[in-house]
Amino acid sequence: MGCNGCNTNNNTDRPVMLGTYDWLSDLPDTAYESNIVEIRFKGTRKEFFKNESGIHLMRDELVVVASNPGHDIGAVSLTGRLAELQFKRKVKKPDKYEWNRIYRKASPADVIKWEEAKSREKKVMIRARQLAAQLQLNMKIGDVEFRGDNAKAIFYYIADGRVDFRELIKLYSREFCVKIEMMQIGVRQEAGRIGGIGSCGRSLCCSTWRTDFSSITSDAAIKQGLSPNAEKMTGRCGKLKCCLTYELDQYLEALEDFPNELLTIETDKGIARHLKTDILQKKILYKYEQNAGQIFELHLADVITFLNMNKRGQKPSIDGFTEKEPVKKNIMNVGNLDQKFFTKPVIVKKHSFRNERLQEKRSLKIQQTKE
């Protein structure tokens, strides 16, 4: 990483932010309950293996696992009961899952060969993009991942439709002398593999903990009353942010109390148009149609009462129901402290004492001259 606030763990191939808490560090070892182990590879790729040999494994420990063909090297992310629960959550058809086994812990020779394979990835990716451009294929090579034995490479590509890359695979095999595997991914998965920092100042959710990339529509932002600004709503991948769905259920539950009809109110002072809605606090901001500068706030219960009065042909007076907007002050939020602590202190000017002393001296001199 390019900043001093984080460092990179070579074993896990992931940035480790300083000041973060590892919630799995103090959990008991449950490896004896299940032989399922979750292994993390480059980026967000994780697979499940069986520890049939009963090797004692710790988190972030490099191991050599079986792959098709050859072998691969990855870091242990979960073991025991947690790995079994994660397997049930991620794998939809556990009966058809192809299990591979763990060979051994990675030796220094295995790590050296693995590092040599990883050092080829950037050069191979640049050359792979050039070959794809020569064939004029409508695709983008997003990333390249070499296996630990340096005998197979996975080319992750992005494409809008189906791509005939049979000729491309022949060029790759001839150019790089490895077994080629093409895997299509989306823009969200590409952002997860590359990683980065979001607008919240934290690492991207897709590169840290998210595993499912469900489609997110603009309706999620509209129902939460968010600004339809495209720049603020889109993430690093160019799609709508995944965090738009984190609080959507709470907003949908709160919206059930709001009426379906228009929130326009006919009052004794004129027609009040709906301006803005605070869904969670259940408050609605209004402005008069004739006087747009006069803005007031009503609670949802009062709005429903006024709408029912309008249905009966009545025009209510809202003078006793309006709430004044709070005055914004540049003070810290320190809880329910007394307002007297924030009053402006009285500053006594020093020159006032000097003036009094000068007047006393002058009066003494005048008296002495008279005597």
- Of 195, 213, 231, the domain-final residue: 213
| Burial (CB count within 10 angstroms: exposed 0-12, middle 13-18, buried 19+), residue 324 | exposed
Q: Is 254's pLDDT higher than 50?
A: yes
Residues 68 and 139 in one domain: no
Q: Is the pTM of this model over 0.75?
A: no
Q: Are 51 and 102 in contact (CB under 8 A)?
A: yes
Residue with tokens 């050599």: 64
Instruction: For residues 96 and 34, state if they share a domain.
Output: yes
Top-confidence range, 14-18, 125-129, 198-202, 260-264 = 125-129
Type and span of the H or E element at 298: strand 295-299
Q: What integer is the mean pLDDT of 244-256?
A: 89
| Domain end (from 85, 106, 127) | 106
DSSP 47-60: EEEE-TT-----TT
Lowest mean pLDDT among 35-39, 64-68, 136-140, 191-195: 191-195
**pLDDT reading at 171 higher than 90:** yes
The count of structural domains within the chain is 2
Closest by alpha carbon to 223, among 259, 247, 198, 199?
A: 247
**349 falls within a domain:** no
**For position 289, what pLDDT does the model report?**
82
Query: What DSSP element (H or E) covers 308?
Result: helix 300-311
Instruction: Residue 83: name the closest of 24, 161, 1 by CA.
Output: 24
| pLDDT tens column, 96-147 | 898 999 999 999 999 999 999 999 999 999 999 999 999 999 999 989 999 9
- Confidence (pLDDT) at 351: 45
73: number of Cβ within 10 Å: 23
Positive or negative, the CA dihedral 244, 250, 254, 256 is: positive
Instruction: Say if residue 88 is in the same domain as residue 114.
Output: no
Residue among 302, 338, 307 nearest 320 (CA): 302
108-119 and 121-134 are packed helices; what angle lies between their axes, rounded to 10 degrees?
30
Q: Give pLDDT, residue 360.
A: 65
Amino acid letter, 275: L
Could you give the CA distance from residue 23 to residue 59 in angstroms, rounded to a whole number? Answer: 13
Which of 213, 236, 267 finishes a domain? 213
Asked if the structure places residue 256 within a domain, the reply is no
CA separation for the pair 311, 330 (Å, rounded): 44
pLDDT tens track for 313-336: 888 887 766 654 443 433 334 334
